[in-house]
Structure 1
Amino acid sequence: MNFNTTVHFDFIKHRKKFFSFSIILTVLGIVSLLVFNLNYGVDFKAGTNMDISVGQKLTQADAKAVIESVGITDVIPTVGGDKGDRVSARFDEVLEQNKVKEIEGAFTAKYGENVSSEVNIVSPDMAQELGKKTIVAVLVASLLIMFYVMIRFEWRFALAANIAILYDAFVVVTIFSIFRLEVDLPFIAAILTTIGYSINDKIVIFDRIRENLRFGKFKNNEQLAEMVNQSLWQTMARNLYTVLAVLIIAVCLFIFGSESIKLFALAKMIGLASGAYSSICIAAPLWLVLKGKQKPKTSQPAKSAV
């Protein structure tokens, strides 16, 4: 069957290669999580985070020296802000109020009265609760998406879509685990938005597959595979334009955004790239595999009114 679409590459023909690559990456992610776990930020483990503005430019060495002057030697602060005047320091323990005041006083003594600070403290119970709520949020979002796709399409579409979006989320987690990037609440927001953008791509492709399936007659799996590949190319431009539009924004946020938003933007960039890949190379081919040897439905002629 000819859908009058120019096919530059047969994605369905190479689906086993895509599946193998994805499985290998998933296994690497599991191993990384088992060996290294995630580099949890203060949001997910007990500790204290201090953001200090000193009103003048300073270096990381300057900030570290001030903190060490109060007896804390195991903290590596980061310096950011438009003027390089903002210090962010994470402490792996819940600091007493007098120790917080001591750190603030040390910066005030060196940089003057313009020093201001913001302190965030997470207790062990709060960190544990945030971790549980995060897992619940991702699972609920995935189940609701599967339920929606099952209503709009069928269970095979829903299962293929859910496997693919969970893969997208896991790819982001894997990259952050391997490179020891900090996981905090903005990271979770990036995971959830990744799931949202990812399912959008898959719905567009599945909708085209359903339309082609409805109006075509397919005698064997080869013709069905050709239809899926044609459907991918019919929706390719729309999906790429959507992903590129959001990706450009994420790249700009990563390059020009503040330090606090860079990891969020990076997670978004990874998630968008993985979502585009999984929509084409995992979700659609997986639906075809699930369809298996079932005889596809063919269009039936309309019955004449009696």
Structure 2
Amino acid sequence: MRLRLVRQDTKFDFFSRWKIWLGISAVMVVVAFASFLQQGLNYGIDFRGGTTIRTQAETPIDIGAYRAAMQTLDLGDITISEVFDPSFDENQHVAMVRIQAQDDQEAVTVEVIEAVEAALTEVAPNIQFVSVESVGPKVSGELIQTAAIAVLLAIGAVLIYIWLRFEWQFAVGAVAALVHDVILTIGIFSELQIKFDLAIIAALLTIVGYSLNDTVVVFDRVRENLIKYKKRDLREVLNISINETLSRTFMTSATTLLALIALFVLGGDVIRGFVFAMIWGVIVGTYSSIFVASAILLWLGVKRDWTKPTDTTGNQFANVDA
């Protein structure tokens, strides 16, 4: 007897209040956009500019002690991470200390660097300062522009892919869901003022791929059922399709969240922002695949006179038991 987290014969009506769900999503998007315009994002050193100091010591690195020693300097955003490399010697411990730019200056002043070195020397007397590198505001601005272009190009590529694989109505629904996910993720970072850096851009692109995969699985089954149930209306076909893929969706989302929650709790401060973005993205991505992408498809309608063969439609993983 196999354990099922979701019954195989579920018959939930996901579209009894589909207009309300679309309205809720629209309100959340407006709130996220308004928060972004009102208070912006808490940009990290990658986007704000700053200085990176590479240290090396013979004793193991205590990130907590490093951070505590630098708190009295009042330098704003400080990121400390340990560098691991198989080529390092056994007693070679390397860390990267990133300090945000002070008062829109091109780089951290020599006095500040000396103060940081003095503070870290008290924690690790044998510490060495291997290199000091600075990222100015101009480079940071270029990084913001490049990151925005990367996200927009990813969404544009999705639009073309879905349009070619399905129909334009499917493409509009899928892209609307992706834009919804990206805006809500940026919005939650703006609302909570969580540090926003290049790792979050990587998370956004990962969320786009995750949400797209979930949406395509549902749309594949919708296309198959549109051919199979030619006399049933679109709303009924969408409900059948989502219920048939619900087991796969639940299993994928649940197992992904288990891994992400473990990373969020045990992974430390360095990756916590990235993992938080992924957790939020998995939740809103699963939601949008059903209540945004499919609801927009129901709203736009789709033609029913397809002549494509049915033996290659659908998805082989759609009925995986959870």
Fold agreement, TM-score > 0.5: yes
Gaps in structure 2 of 5+ consecutive residues: 1-7, 83-94, 309-322
Answering whether residue 279 of structure 2 is matched by residue 269 of structure 1, we say yes
8 A Cα contact 1:46 1:92, kept in partner? yes
Instruction: Spell out the pairing of 1:1-306 with structure 2 (5 A cutoff).
Output: 6-49=9-52, 55-56=61-62, 58=65, 61-65=68-72, 68=73, 73-75=74-76, 77=78, 90-93=99-102, 94-97=107-110, 99-109=112-122, 111-114=124-127, 121-218=134-231, 223-291=233-301, 296-297=304-305
- What does the per-residue CA deviation read over 1:139-173, in whole Å, with 9 as the maximum and x for residues that have no partner? 11111111111111011101100010111111111
Structure 1 residue matching 2:65: 3-state secondary structure: coil
Shift of 1:105: 2.9
Please provide the CA RMSD for this pair.
2.8
**Aligned in 2, Cα 1:42/1:27: closer, same or farther, shift over 3 Å?**
same
**Aligned in 2, Cα 1:51/1:236: closer, same or farther, shift over 3 Å?**
farther
Shift of 1:109: 4.1
Q: Which amino acid aligns with 2:100?
A: F
8 A Cα contact 2:69 2:120, kept in partner? no
Distance of 1:154 and 1:266 partners within structure 2: 34
Structure 2 residue matching 1:24: 3-state secondary structure: helix
Shift of 1:296: 3.1
- What does the per-residue CA deviation read over 1:88-133, in whole Å, with 9 as the maximum and x for residues that have no partner? 5633332134532442133214541136577552211111111111
8 A Cα contact 2:173 2:293, kept in partner? yes
Distance of 2:275 and 2:281 partners within structure 1: 10
**Aligned in 2, Cα 1:12/1:117: closer, same or farther, shift over 3 Å?**
farther
**Aligned in 2, Cα 1:287/1:129: closer, same or farther, shift over 3 Å?**
same
**Aligned in 2, Cα 1:49/1:28: closer, same or farther, shift over 3 Å?**
farther
Q: Which stretch of the first structure deviates more once superposed, 179-188 or 115-124? A: 115-124
Q: Which amino acid aligns with 1:75?
A: G
Structure 1 residue matching 2:99: 3-state secondary structure: strand
**Aligned in 2, Cα 1:210/1:122: closer, same or farther, shift over 3 Å?**
same
- What does the per-residue CA deviation read over 1:17-69, in whole Å, with 9 as the maximum and x for residues that have no partner? 2111111111110110111100011111222355768845638554323xx3x
Q: Which amino acid aligns with 1:46?
A: G
Distance of 1:157 and 1:164 partners within structure 2: 11
Distance of 1:30 and 1:49 partners within structure 2: 32
Distance of 1:58 and 1:238 partners within structure 2: 45
Shift of 1:227: 1.1
Q: Which stretch of the first structure deviates more once superposed, 191-200 or 118-127? A: 118-127
**Aligned in 2, Cα 1:275/1:76: closer, same or farther, shift over 3 Å?**
closer
8 A Cα contact 1:191 1:267, kept in partner? yes
What's the counterpart of residue 304 of structure 1? none
8 A Cα contact 1:48 1:91, kept in partner? yes
Q: Which amino acid aligns with 2:141?
A: Q
Distance of 1:76 and 1:124 partners within structure 2: 15
Question: Once the two structures are aligned, what percentage of the paired residues are identical?
Answer: 31
Q: Which stretch of the first structure deviates more once superposed, 248-257 or 41-50? A: 41-50
Structure 2 residue matching 1:6: 3-state secondary structure: coil
Distance of 1:157 and 1:34 partners within structure 2: 30
Q: Which amino acid aligns with 1:255?
A: V
**Aligned in 2, Cα 1:51/1:11: closer, same or farther, shift over 3 Å?**
farther
TM-score (norm 2): 0.78
Structure 2 residue matching 1:58: 3-state secondary structure: helix
